[in-house]
């Protein structure tokens, strides 16, 4: 499975430009117009820090998720053999389907 990591500008447009940040920008403008430049500057600085933190967190989470999706290993899966019997077969983890019952050995590294 391949999960593509979105570029920073796309994360910014899709996830960061929400109503909270738009309201903060509106408030910043109102405070500057009313002459409270020190408060508005502080608010703007905190807004930039918050946006940077959210962007970096979202990007790193998407990157880690894409790395975890590439992980493959051999596992034992309980499958029907056709005669109504069930036995364990060793398959690649990319061949798993929903509903598979599998054994997790103690020595296998999990992401």
| pLDDT tens digits for range 47-61 | 999 999 999 999 999
Number of domains in the chain: 2
Q: 57 with 26, same domain?
A: yes
Q: 18 with 57, same domain?
A: yes
Q: 27 with 54, same domain?
A: yes
Is residue 50 assigned to a domain?
yes
Closest CA to 68 of 100, 109, 15: 109
Is residue 12 assigned to a domain?
yes
Q: 24 with 60, same domain?
A: yes
- Full-prediction pTM beyond 0.85? no
Domain that holds residue 46: 8-69
Check: CB of residue 5 under 8 Å from CB of residue 64: no
Is residue 108 assigned to a domain?
no
Check: CB of residue 80 under 8 Å from CB of residue 86: yes
1 pLDDT above the threshold of 80: no
């Amino acid at each position: 499975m391949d999960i593509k990591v979105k570029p920073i500008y796309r994360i910014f447009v899709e996830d960061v430009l929400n109503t909270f940040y738009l309201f903060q920008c509106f408030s910043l403008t109102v405070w500057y117009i009313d002459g409270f430049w020190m408060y508005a500057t502080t608010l703007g600085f905190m807004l930039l820090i918050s946006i940077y933190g959210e962007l970096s967190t979202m990007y790193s989470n998407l990157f880690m998720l894409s790395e975890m999706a590439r992980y493959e290993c051999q596992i034992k899966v309980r499958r029907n053999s056709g005669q109504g019997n069930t036995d364990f077969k060793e398959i690649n983890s990319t061949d798993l389907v929903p509903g598979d019952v599998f054994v997790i050995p103690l020595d296998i590294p999990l992401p």
